[in-house]
Amino acid sequence: MLTWERRRRPDEVPTPVAVALSDHCRRARSPATAAEVRDALSVLSAEDDFRVTLAAEAEPELSPLSPFAAVDLVRGVEPQLVRKRQDSGYYDLVRNHLSLRDEKVVEVQVPVRVERPVPGPVSSAPQAPASRTGKALSVQERIAPKKRPARQVAETDGVEQPAAPAEPQLLPFQERKLNLPRPRGRFTRVGATRAKFDTLFHTSFKPELVALLEQAQNRVQLLRALAESHSGRRGLDLSAGNVMEVVEHHGLVEALVTSERTLVLAAFAAHRGASGRVAKSLGLSGDALEDIIRGADMRREVEKVRERFRLELLDGRNLSVRLEHAGRDRYLVDLDIQKRFVRQVSSELRRMFLETAAGKETLETATEAVARKYGTAPDLLGRALMKLGLTGELSEWLAGGPPPTP
């Protein structure tokens, strides 16, 4: 029976393996943090890393697929059981269980048998040693350390001493925490004192604001940079409205809007109109990106770029591009054309197979014939059929069933 126990520490997982699994989960519509990916991979040993790499290179079997679910598949668990565990929140409990085990310190009590010596006969009190010459002891002899008899030493050493508290034993992946005193002097960490809000309106601050604007290139990043060194009104945290007041006071609103417009439109063109990818590439959240688009008044330009990529995917002449994006549901939902795209591409593929693949014995030969006629790659066409759920329908038709309806 497979158990959930760590085989290594999370930070011992090789970075390429963690990156491969993270990308695999992202393609399975379940992005995860680096800590969650390393937590899941710590359950596997180093000998299983090549299996994780091979599984990550293939297309995800399930969607969504969390890192722990992917590790379960690598360990040989049936996909049906993995899906049930994914839907029931089983893997969240597994991760909590592992974190609790990391915090728990296991103490092992080892019984020690203590042998007590048998007490001997009580000896008489030792007599004061006399000098060898029989004379009275000198001052030096009286203050010299005295040696105890051997029997007295044995009796004293045989007394059971209180045992020192046993040091708790840690698991292999745990580290012992040292209760060290807090640092003092030049090693003390003191938070930086933030300047007052009024200093942002000084004329001498404008060159620094221009330099920050060139680095940040948008109002959200500019707010993050200024909030580290300045406070807002009445000592509160700096807000977006405060930043725009400062920018407007120094006459840099046009420069800020121009920088945002150039940056955002270039990002939308580079990521084919996907707003989620644009926000991630700029280090912003979805709401922050919307605030920039609304503040710079460039909604029309952004929608124009997105509409260009919508038309490219819905154009029947771009067959290879359409087949490549089949199954990329998150991107299609972002462009708001998922249902229309799936309906058009599925109907077009049914029509192509009815016109070209009639009389073929297997779906593989039919796929090669259609790909050869329409100038596309057979493996690309086969993956599109699988992602759109048309393989069963076309296989049944080639085996003598009813023809598919375009």
Would you say residue 302 has pLDDT above 90? yes
d(CA 181, CA 351): 76
> Can you give the pTM of this predicted structure?
0.49
Closest CA to 200 of 152, 155, 252: 252
d(CA 68, CA 83): 11
Q: Are 302 and 264 in contact (CB under 8 A)?
A: yes
3-state DSSP assignment of residue 259: helix
Tell me, what's the pLDDT at 105?
46
pLDDT of 95 higher than 70: yes
Segment 372-388 shows an average pLDDT of: 90
DSSP 189-229: --PPPPBPGGGGGSGGGHHHHHHHHHHH-SHHHHHHHHHTT
CA distance 373 to 354: 13
Query: pLDDT tens for residues 393-405?
Result: 888 888 888 888 7
Distance (Å, rounded) from C-alpha 94 to C-alpha 98?
A: 6
Please state, in angstroms and rounded to a whole number, the distance separating the CA atoms of residues 367 and 180. 69
Residue 45, CA distances (Å) to 17, 51, 74 in order = 12, 11, 12
Residue 49 has pLDDT above 80, yes or no: yes
| Helix, coil or strand: residue 230 | strand
Q: Using one digit for the tens of pLDDT, what is the confidence trace for 315-327?
A: 878 888 888 888 8
* pLDDT of 164 strictly over 80: no
- What is the rounded average pLDDT of the residues 347-366? 88
Q: How far apart are CA 64 and CA 87, in angstroms?
A: 9
pLDDT of 251 reads: 92
Q: Which of 171-185, 197-211, 336-350 has the lowest mean pLDDT?
A: 171-185
Rounded mean pLDDT, 30-52: 87
Cis peptide before 64 (omega within 30 of 0): yes
pLDDT band at 299 (very low <50, low <70, confident <90, very high): very high
Gap between the Cα atoms of 213 and 223, Å rounded = 10
Judge whether 212 and 222 are in contact, CB under 8 Å. Answer: yes
Residues 6+ apart with CB under 8 A from 239: 223, 232
> Model confidence over 266-295: pLDDT tens digits?
999 999 999 999 998 888 888 889 989 988
With cut-offs at 50, 70 and 90, classify the pLDDT of residue 328. confident
Calculated CA dihedral for residues 223, 226, 230, 236, nearest 10 degrees: 10
Does the structure show a pLDDT above 70 at 143? yes
Please name the helix (run of DSSP H) or strand (run of DSSP E) that holds residue 18, with its range, or none: helix 15-27
Q: Could you report how far apart the first and last alpha carbons of the chain are, in Å?
A: 48
Compute the distance between CA of residue 353 and CA of residue 404 in angstroms, rounded to an integer. 9
Mean pLDDT of 345-367: 88
Distance between CA atoms of residues 138 and 340, nearest Å? 115
Mean pLDDT, to the nearest integer, of 211-235?
87
Torsion on CA atoms 7, 10, 13, 19, rounded to nearest 10: 130
Residue 104: is its pLDDT beyond 80?
no
| Structure-token pair, residue 107 | 């103490």
Looking at per-residue pLDDT, the higher value among 228 and 134 belongs to: 228
pLDDT band at 202 (very low <50, low <70, confident <90, very high): very high
- Determine the average pLDDT of the residues in 63-87: 86
Residue 72 CB contacts under 8 Å (≥ 6 apart), including other chains = 81, 82, 85, 91
The count of residues in the chain is 406
Do 273 and 305 form a contact (C-beta atoms < 8 A)? yes
The helix/strand/coil state of 315 is: coil
Average pLDDT over residues 334-345: 90
DSSP output for 130-157: PPTTSPPPPHHHHHSPPPPPHHHHHHHH
Average pLDDT, the chain: 81
Residue entry with tokens 């708790």: 168
Other C-beta atoms within 10 Å of 74: how many? 21
pLDDT score for 319: 86
C-alpha 79/C-alpha 81 separation (Å) is 5
Residues β-bridged to residue 195: 230
